[in-house]
Structure 1
């Protein structure tokens, strides 16, 4: 493996401090979010790319712990079809790293015009998403130079965790304080498992990345990172979707990367999936999942034991490290993947 450092690796290491700053900034806004909670019943997420993966986490979090129906919006309904919907009683949560992706800003404006209350989650203070929403959750990631989102993604998850508390989730806010320390522990841990996975993935052209429940968001984001920076045909699939047909794609040349919190109601299903994948002859690389997933995996990268609802904030970190290491091992620059810009505009 080349020893050349990257901006992406540096930004991965900045995540603990970015999360501490973000929690300190956003937790005092809970009364503002509680006021919006009293006016709304459902949550509509508006996002693209990594922000859309963060929204998947938000959807599971809101429905599992706030009792609110949460859905992923389709921005083209607003921007292309120009449809008119009754969004009274809806809290529209628009997520964009820059806060100025035109499609996301336009869709948030459309949602407000249709009767929704709005929350903007962005790292862009002063951006349209921050200034035009009813409540702005401005993350404190600092400038992110590498094209693949790392610290802006995890701070978006942090904002969604704070939003869940504001919307009435019966969860312990003290769990949030444990996250930065857990990530620092992971960053300082031995890299033997990651190094082995990198070497075993050098020759593959495709991989399946899967998770269940709140870890599904991690699988989607890990898959996106491998596609962006390593040009790998990585498929992000839910546990259920993988079982319904695509299981046929896993074979000795197509590893499965399985993501799971160290505990929680979805862990048993993920372990069972690992055992089934190994029966199909495919390598299983486990991320998290505690001792149970480690036993069912060919190689496992452990993470500290955090409650399931905050585990996605740390679970993505070893997948980010894998992406950065594999890209360099392949002779690629993880900071500037081909064909990508930091802000993507869609019409």
Structure 2
């Protein structure tokens, strides 16, 4: 029986095409709402927060703007005012109905920020209605609790946002994304070997750096949600500062990298260090170099680094769905989770 999660992973090429077709013509609207701002503040929780990490790195690396992740509790719990003049606040929520994110985006506007919503909830969702500009993704209904296509379409919307903020990238690279994702779905690499390697393990460390850090965080979250693994998502810079001590024969590492870019050599070196210490290292992406250094490897997308995270997450999604079934867990309905999470 095909799970909803696996079906929705397969729907991502079409969802990405529809989202990009809808949002790319709106780059000028982003430019106008961002006029007069100099910093970007991302407001999100959960999977959307992992998407925001991509937005932060992309904004700082390619537009030269300072970008930060918000602490919503400043608005919702401490109820403090902050001077946000000159700030573009971007709220991300797949449903557009997470009250904390809606409230925090409204707070940001009240504090002087210009506001953008990124949501799959449509223009009538509370988050979209609270924003100066709503970038609505076209993922369609998502039935599995673990987000897949709503996450990748959020990344697509963030790429469009970066274009509107003047990113020094080639917008035509986005045209390649749906086909690159389709190719990964058809040929994810040595999936069975990685599933077998993780099936008997209580935990795993998932690591990447820079633009790929968001993929490491999201892969770790999916493995926690749907496979009940103690999965730790870390930048490899932070991993080397001490937590690497937990990587051993019972705690393998999943290492994520684009096929190009300044973080690739460090990721390959980390894989060599992990395997040299007798632990398993499973690569996602990183080209032939990371594959050779790894115990087993999943393919990455043939995409430039700035858009690679839109494809890099796909092998992690397929791994999560396959491992959950191997462990006897229903990946569509993990225990303790709902599709829309409200924070007290």
TM-score range, shorter chain: over 0.9
8 Å CA contact 1:263, 1:305 repeated in 2: no
The Cα shift of 1:190 comes to: 6.2
Q: Cα distance 1:39–1:345, how it changes in 2: closer, same or farther (>3 A)?
A: same
Deviations 1:69-98 (A, max 9, x none): 000000000000011100000000000000
2:177 to 160, 176, 179: 179
Q: Which residue of 1 aligns with 2:19?
A: 22
Q: Which residue of 1 aligns with 2:191?
A: 194
Q: Which residue of 1 aligns with 2:72?
A: 75
Partner SS state of residue 144, structure 2: coil
8 Å CA contact 2:34, 2:114 repeated in 1: no
Q: Which residue of 1 aligns with 2:225?
A: 228
Q: Which residue of 1 aligns with 2:244?
A: 247
User: How many residues were matched structurally?
Assistant: 343
Partner SS state of residue 104, structure 1: helix
- Alignment of 1:304 with 2:301, yes or no, is yes
Q: Which residue of 1 aligns with 2:39?
A: 42
1:162 to 154, 160, 163: 160
- Alignment of 1:281 with 2:289, yes or no, is no
Partner SS state of residue 219, structure 2: helix
Give the Cα–Cα distance (whole angstroms) in 2 for the partners of residues 276 and 82 of structure 1.
Answer: 46
Give the Cα–Cα distance (whole angstroms) in 1 for the partners of residues 43 and 35 of structure 2.
Answer: 21
8 Å CA contact 1:124, 1:138 repeated in 2: yes
Deviations 1:248-299 (A, max 9, x none): 0000111100000011111011111111111221100000000110111010
Give the Cα–Cα distance (whole angstroms) in 1 for the partners of residues 229 and 212 of structure 2.
Answer: 21
Give the Cα–Cα distance (whole angstroms) in 2 for the partners of residues 46 and 284 of structure 1.
Answer: 33
Q: Which residue of 2 aligns with 1:61?
A: 58
Give the Cα–Cα distance (whole angstroms) in 2 for the partners of residues 271 and 23 of structure 1.
Answer: 32
Give the Cα–Cα distance (whole angstroms) in 2 for the partners of residues 243 and 199 of structure 1.
Answer: 26
Q: Cα distance 1:190–1:147, how it changes in 2: closer, same or farther (>3 A)?
A: closer
Give the Cα–Cα distance (whole angstroms) in 1 for the partners of residues 309 and 198 of structure 2.
Answer: 23
Deviations 1:126-146 (A, max 9, x none): 101112201100000000000
8 Å CA contact 1:105, 1:128 repeated in 2: yes
Give the Cα–Cα distance (whole angstroms) in 1 for the partners of residues 20 and 37 of structure 2.
Answer: 24
8 Å CA contact 1:206, 1:254 repeated in 2: yes
CA RMSD of aligned residues (A): 0.8
Moved more, 303-312 or 330-339: 303-312
* Structure 2: runs of 5 or more not aligned: none
1:106-145 equivalence runs, <5 A: 106-125=103-122, 126-145=124-143
Deviations 1:186-241 (A, max 9, x none): 111165x1111111111000000000100000000000000000000000010111
Q: Which residue of 2 aligns with 1:99?
A: 96
Give the Cα–Cα distance (whole angstroms) in 2 for the partners of residues 187 and 102 of structure 1.
Answer: 34
The Cα shift of 1:153 comes to: 0.2
Partner SS state of residue 337, structure 1: coil
Give the Cα–Cα distance (whole angstroms) in 2 for the partners of residues 47 and 274 of structure 1.
Answer: 31
8 Å CA contact 1:97, 1:122 repeated in 2: yes
Give the Cα–Cα distance (whole angstroms) in 2 for the partners of residues 190 and 314 of structure 1.
Answer: 11
Runs of 4+ in structure 1 deviating by more than 4 angstroms, as ranges, are none
8 Å CA contact 1:179, 1:313 repeated in 2: yes
Give the Cα–Cα distance (whole angstroms) in 1 for the partners of residues 301 and 75 of structure 2.
Answer: 42
